Amino acid sequence: MSHKSRSRIASTRRRRSPVFAALGDETRLSLVAKLCSGQRQSISQLTEGSRLTRQAITKHLRVLENAGIVRTVRKGRESHFQFNPQPMEGIREYLDSVSQQWDQALSRLKSFVEH
């Protein structure tokens, strides 16, 4: 693999790591699942059914927002949160690339073992 290819892969990992880190928490995964409906939701709506405080939910939403997964939309005095699918598309592309690398490695191994 060339230096340029390794550098590009490392750059991609650095861009994706905040998204993986943000999704590495059960509460944040739950918030993303709630927001995937496409509807903007307030803190009150997102706190509903949770044992966490509004403040705790807000902190989790800020992590998701910093990773680009969630957007804040002001509506009067209230903030509403909206899912942004773009970072997830990047994660899917990255995982597809990793999967393809594993497929190629397994194919080489299979070929080696069979011959």
Residue 80 tokens, joined: 């509403």
**Segments forming the whole domain that contains residue 98:** 3-108
User: Number of folded domains in the chain?
Assistant: 1
Residue 4 tokens, joined: 């340029």
In this predicted structure, what is the pLDDT of residue 12? 61
Higher pLDDT, 3 or 32: 32
Instruction: List the CATH number of the domain containing 10.
Output: 1.10.10.10
Read off the pTM: 0.73
- Chain segment 19-54, per-residue pLDDT in tens: 888 999 999 999 999 999 888 999 999 999 889 999
**Residue at 97 is within a domain:** yes
- Chain segment 47-92, per-residue pLDDT in tens: 998 899 999 999 999 999 999 999 999 888 888 999 999 888 877 8
